[in-house]
Amino acid sequence: MIKEELFEKLADIEHQRWADWQKYVHSKCIKNSDGTLIIPKWAVEQWERQINTPYSELIEDEKEKDREQVRRYWNLINDESI
């Protein structure tokens, strides 16, 4: 696979990953009549804790969620033909 093609495939996966995350975040928010969203306190606290925690210090369930994301593109970067 040429590098530009790999780059575009990875960018496509990244976009889908981001879109999935946004769907998840929006599903946890309270939607106001004007379309704005309110993030609940529990979510802010959880996500801020995760933001400020190095991967090595995350609990195993949180690490597994990160691993799930890597599995989306692992086959592309683990391909020895690149």
Contact 62, 50 (CB under 8 A): yes
CA-to-CA dists, residue 50 to 9, 63, 79, angstroms: 28, 10, 31
Cα dihedral 63, 68, 6, 15 in deg (nearest 10): -100
> In 3D, which of 51, 48, 52, 26 has the Cα closest to residue 39?
26
Mean pLDDT of 59-79: 93
Domain boundaries in the chain? 3-77
> pLDDT per residue over 29-59, tens digit each?
999 999 999 999 999 999 999 999 999 999 9
pTM given for the model: 0.79
